[in-house]
Amino acid sequence: MLIPKTRLTLLCTNRFEDTLTTQEHPIRNLEGEFTSFDQVAIPRYDHRHSFSYTLRTQQALNFLAHFHLAQPTDGSRIGALLGDFVRGTPESLQTRFPPEVVDGIILHRAIDRFTDSHEIFLKSKKILSQPRQRFAGIIIDIYFDHFLAQFWSNFSEVSLKTFTAEIYGTLERRTAWLGPEISKITKRMKIENWLETYGTIAGLALTFRKVSQRRTFLTPLIGAEEDLKNHYQCFTTAFRSFYPELMSFSSERNPGGPLS
């Protein structure tokens, strides 16, 4: 039931005491139960959104979900990765990559648009402490990859270790599609096992420290795992409500994906 223009207190965090005007409707978790996350308000317009999106795509950190939502083929998985690195229209991309890779890039972009405009994602951004609001897109993406690793068996019939081994194998086989610069990144990804590292708080802390070292203005990312620890149940509810919707969205555009 839609409740128009109600004012709701941010109940999932003690860091925000103000209220925001929003349109609200109930959110269900995997068991179909309503959760306290329904009470988190979102702004009608987030002036930081476009900047956060730019940062998120430049940092390219939420790899696990994109790989999971791709088709189980080398081309689709490479496209899922390249969506964070390449620009251009689908027509221009077809002159550079095989059709299956282009389809993977297009799916990646659609997933990002769906995520960035989804009310659960927007609500999750508002839970973060004020100094990190500017980088909310990066942080929530990494949090959600953390929960995907944590709840992996709910979404995949193969183990996370088996899946990541398949991904690393694809990246090693298809360096010609990746190019030398991106291949350097994927080599580090395998050596440091990024895809499984997100599953631990210690791994998240290391990730945020590394990202913060890339640019001085990214310093507020240091310690971003503390916001997750402070509001772990709330972010858990957010992910478990959001990710099945994202899987359904991806499956409609990606026959052969995880729900097919």
Is 223 inside any structural domain? yes
DSSP-H helix ranges across the chain: 49-59, 63-69, 74-82, 90-93, 99-117, 119-127, 136-150, 152-155, 160-173, 175-178, 180-191, 194-197, 201-212, 225-230, 232-253
Is 37 inside any structural domain? no
Is 34 inside any structural domain? no
Residue 19, pLDDT score: 25
The candidate with the shortest Cα–Cα distance to 208, out of 120, 110, 140, 112, is 140
Look-up of token digits 């139960």: 33
Asked if residues 107 and 253 have their Cβ atoms less than 8 Å apart, the reply is: yes
Residue 256 has pLDDT above 70, yes or no: no
Residue 259 has pLDDT above 70, yes or no: no
57-79 pLDDT tens trace? 344 468 999 999 999 999 999 99
Is 258 inside any structural domain? no
Torsion angle of the four alpha carbons 147, 165, 55, 13, in this order, in degrees rounded to the nearest 10 = 10
Domain total in the chain: 1
Look-up of token digits 């590394």: 210
List phi, psi (to 5°) of 79.
Answer: -60, -35
Query: Is the whole-model pTM more than 0.85?
Result: no
Look-up of token digits 């995997």: 30
Domain, as residue range, for 66: 49-253
